[in-house]
Structure 1
Amino acid sequence: MNKRRISMQDMVLGEPLQWDVFDTTGHLLLSRGHVIDNTHLLESLVSRGLFIDLPHKQTEAPLTVAKVPELPSVLRFINLAHKRLESLLFGLHTETDATTKILEVAKTVIYAANLNPDIAIACILLNQSVTTYAGRHSMDTALVSLLVAQVMKKSPDEVKIIVAAALTMNIGMLRQHDHFQEKQGPLTEQEMAIVKKHPQEGVRLLQQAGIDHPDWLTCVLQHHENEDGSGYPHGLKGPEISQNAKIISLADRYCARVTGRTYRQPLLPPAALRGLFFEESKTIDKNLAPFFIHELGMYPPGTHVRLLNGEIGVVTRKGHQVSAPIVHALLAPGGAPLSFPIQRDTSKTLFAIREALYPSQADVRFSMQHLWGKEARL
């Protein structure tokens, strides 16, 4: 037996083993594919000494190992889409075939989100420094709109147009958007006029660039209309508003609430969801609420949480219940950093979520790759 010792760093709690594992005498302890989900068992095994069997270079013929394609990085694709989108939007007046180019960005976003929807949603909370607020917010809105549209069984072509519309929804105030978000005081009358007019201005700019898809333009024009007629620019009500525009509108509002501003702290995701579907229920289409709750949950991926046992961690994927996702704990109950992230199923009583936290309250350091692996590498 040509053995190599492995350590805690080689083992990921809750993930299948990549090798057969032996003790110091060569006795098989665990077979490849076995999942260890108990911290104490893992620590006990490591303390006894764990080894994997490697082929003998001199006496054994080299093994022919099929190369496993490296998993594409969701984070990398989304960041590339961010940069391409920002370049397109700021230079839209000089672009030829803008429709095709924006749809290419939309297809990249769809591809990335479908690789791993949990990582895509986590980007909304954890990937805030990638670009300007204007570009980032449109991308966040597009990701949420995409996942909701898919769970509603919209056709692929319709989903693509919804994503494209979300990506371009604020082009009518693109150059002022970041200034508005950083401003400490209330907007002036002139600034408010720009905000109120931006859906119409956005349609004008898109048409000027050769974009003439009717649903795309309708979504951009109507994404600030409200169910009760209190929205703008035309004060439309209920059935007068396109359903796809309503999806983008809700995604827009949710993402605006959970991301930071210079002048205010973001809302924690449970508060953002409650505020949207309960406190503002008159302005939204309640029929859409179940789809948003299903896709986002009370604690979407990327949310920092404290568990009932005192551990602090980050939500890494949806669970079977909207209020009980899967969390990877990073800090022990006393606040000491754990040696490696420990997966917790929060539907179990001991590991239930006590509260959502702001990142500053959680005070944990990690990269997205640390929690999601190579699919979240930069």
Structure 2
Amino acid sequence: MSNLVRIAPGALEIGRPLPWTVYDADGNVLLRQGYVINSDSQLEQLFERGRFKPRKIDVPQEEIFEDNRDRNPFADYAEFLQSLEATLTAITDRDASARPRLLGLCRMIEKTCREAPDASLALVHLYSIGPTIHEQIIFYAILCQFIGRQFGLEEKRISVLTGAALTANLALVPVANQLNASNKVLTDEQRRVIRRHPQRSIEALKAAGITNPLLHTIIAQHHEQADGSGYPDGLSGTDIRPEAEILALAERYVAMITKRAYRKRMTVSEARRLIATLADGKFRPAIPKALLEVLGEYPPGILVRLDNNEVAVVTGRPVRARGPFVKAIFGPRGNRYSGTFERDTSLLEYNIRALEEPEIMPSMDFSLIWGFRS
């Protein structure tokens, strides 16, 4: 197949789910998205034999762009990342396509979150162990969609908030992966880069012709805190836009559940307990509450152990009297099922006993588990 290209070294990592399906040179599937590479030799073989299908990223026309495809968050994941990278590059290059690219990506994420909410939230948790900066930014945008809507923001404000989530860390992109991988104390220069990044991101947006005042305000304020301890201006209380607090909380949640070189990642339960304390002076109380309501006790994409000792992946949040929707992937004795089996967690046999927090996620065919066509 002529549209397949080689996988570049560094594009894949041991212990992380594949972001896209991998093919051989003839177009035959080698490994599906969600498979976890577990050895150096396997990684080397993929670099030698593996190919993937790059998506052609068109520059959307600002007034007429409308993507009417049914959204599958797992199939779209690689496109999100490619489109984000192209958008941020266009902004830093002051390219005329910057604004329509940003608008198009915002609309694509909004449509995906509306059509496939549980699967969109699952992306955040399935890829949260060691995400790149571009992945983290996509997670911020997804969470802002849900928190903003739960908080009660009108749709136009949620759209601007999503744009802010995608661009607020523009100035940090070149150094973010390096900072996350370091277990050393930050230098004074690194601290200056971090503190200046909101203003530098705004300057880049203005230079690219993206001049929405609310967008700039959200970015400028997303490290302020309600008790006045934030930066850059030490704002407090209602001087801070709720959109800025929503973005700040989305960033904080992703940081909690993400592994860093200098600390372990939190379990979802630990993160939920910490979020509950943030209503005490750091945020408007309604914003942490909105995130907790969005996530539920067992958010989609996490693994749980059932009372019959099966291990299952949570595929959907509770509906009415029924508990979270799950699909069993490991049997009671630890054997991997060849398929998946939906379990009703409201039944005693399938009650959720505990969270499973593996250091490496098991391989899964995400589209199949969530019922999408590959």
TM-score range, shorter chain: 0.7 to 0.9
Q: Which residue of 1 aligns with 2:283?
A: 284
Shift of 1:115: 1.7
Q: Which residue of 1 aligns with 2:105?
A: 105
Contact 1:227 1:237 in 2 (8 A): yes
Distance in structure 2 (CA, Å) of the matches to 1:214 and 1:287: 24
Q: Which residue of 2 aligns with 1:238?
A: 237
Q: Which residue of 2 aligns with 1:120?
A: 120
Shift of 1:196: 1.1
Cα deviation code 1:218-241 (max 9, x no counterpart): 111111111111111111111010
Cα deviation code 1:168-199 (max 9, x no counterpart): 11012221111111111111111011111111
Cα deviation code 1:284-325 (max 9, x no counterpart): 221123321121112211101112221111110001379941
Contact 2:227 2:282 in 1 (8 A): yes
Contact 1:329 1:342 in 2 (8 A): yes
Q: Which residue of 1 aligns with 2:146?
A: 147
Supply the AA of the counterpart residue of 2:167.
T
SS of corresponding position for 1:309: coil
Distance in structure 1 (CA, Å) of the matches to 2:73 and 2:152: 23
Q: Which residue of 2 aligns with 1:274?
A: 273
Contact 1:162 1:244 in 2 (8 A): yes
Q: Which residue of 2 aligns with 1:367?
A: 365
Q: Which has the higher helix share?
A: 1
Change (3 A) 1:335 1:93: closer
Change (3 A) 1:140 1:323: farther
Contact 2:322 2:344 in 1 (8 A): no
Q: Which residue of 2 aligns with 1:167?
A: 166
Supply the AA of the counterpart residue of 2:106.
A
Distance in structure 1 (CA, Å) of the matches to 2:323 and 2:85: 36
Supply the AA of the counterpart residue of 1:315.
V
Change (3 A) 1:145 1:321: farther
Contact 1:321 1:347 in 2 (8 A): no
SS of corresponding position for 2:372: helix
Q: Which residue of 1 aligns with 2:313?
A: 314
Supply the AA of the counterpart residue of 1:372.
W
Cα deviation code 1:257-294 (max 9, x no counterpart): 11233443321112112112226733122112332112
Distance in structure 2 (CA, Å) of the matches to 1:77 and 1:333: 33
SS of corresponding position for 1:359: coil
Worse overlay, 142-151 or 281-290:
281-290
Change (3 A) 1:250 1:70: closer
Change (3 A) 1:252 1:332: same
Supply the AA of the counterpart residue of 2:339.
F
Bigger radius of gyration: 1
Distance in structure 1 (CA, Å) of the matches to 2:123 and 2:276: 23
The 5 A counterparts of 1:125-136 are 125-127=125-127, 133-136=132-135
Contact 1:78 1:109 in 2 (8 A): no
Contact 2:249 2:288 in 1 (8 A): no
Distance in structure 2 (CA, Å) of the matches to 1:72 and 1:203: 31
Change (3 A) 1:171 1:306: same
Distance in structure 2 (CA, Å) of the matches to 1:200 and 1:322: 47
Distance in structure 2 (CA, Å) of the matches to 1:151 and 1:79: 27
In the comparison of the two structures, how many residue pairs are matched? Answer: 306
Contact 2:164 2:215 in 1 (8 A): yes
TM-score, normalised with respect to structure 1:
0.75
SS of corresponding position for 1:329: strand
Distance in structure 2 (CA, Å) of the matches to 1:125 and 1:202: 27
Distance in structure 2 (CA, Å) of the matches to 1:218 and 1:307: 46
Contact 2:129 2:258 in 1 (8 A): no
Distance in structure 2 (CA, Å) of the matches to 1:276 and 1:289: 6
Distance in structure 2 (CA, Å) of the matches to 1:72 and 1:281: 38
Change (3 A) 1:323 1:180: farther
SS of corresponding position for 1:281: coil
SS of corresponding position for 2:354: strand
Distance in structure 2 (CA, Å) of the matches to 1:292 and 1:97: 33
SS of corresponding position for 1:373: coil
Supply the AA of the counterpart residue of 1:366.
M
The 5 A counterparts of 1:68-217 are 72-94=71-93, 95-127=95-127, 133-217=132-216
Worse overlay, 238-247 or 304-313:
304-313
The 5 A counterparts of 1:48-59 are none
1:334 and 2:333 matched: yes
Contact 2:171 2:197 in 1 (8 A): yes
SS of corresponding position for 2:145: helix
Distance in structure 1 (CA, Å) of the matches to 2:184 and 2:341: 44
Distance in structure 1 (CA, Å) of the matches to 2:315 and 2:168: 29
Change (3 A) 1:264 1:163: same
Q: Which residue of 1 aligns with 2:20?
A: none
Change (3 A) 1:344 1:84: same
Distance in structure 1 (CA, Å) of the matches to 2:183 and 2:118: 33
TM-score, normalised with respect to structure 2:
0.76
Cα deviation code 1:326-361 (max 9, x no counterpart): 111111222122343122232333322222122348
Shift of 1:150: 2.1
Distance in structure 1 (CA, Å) of the matches to 2:321 and 2:118: 13
Contact 2:303 2:314 in 1 (8 A): yes
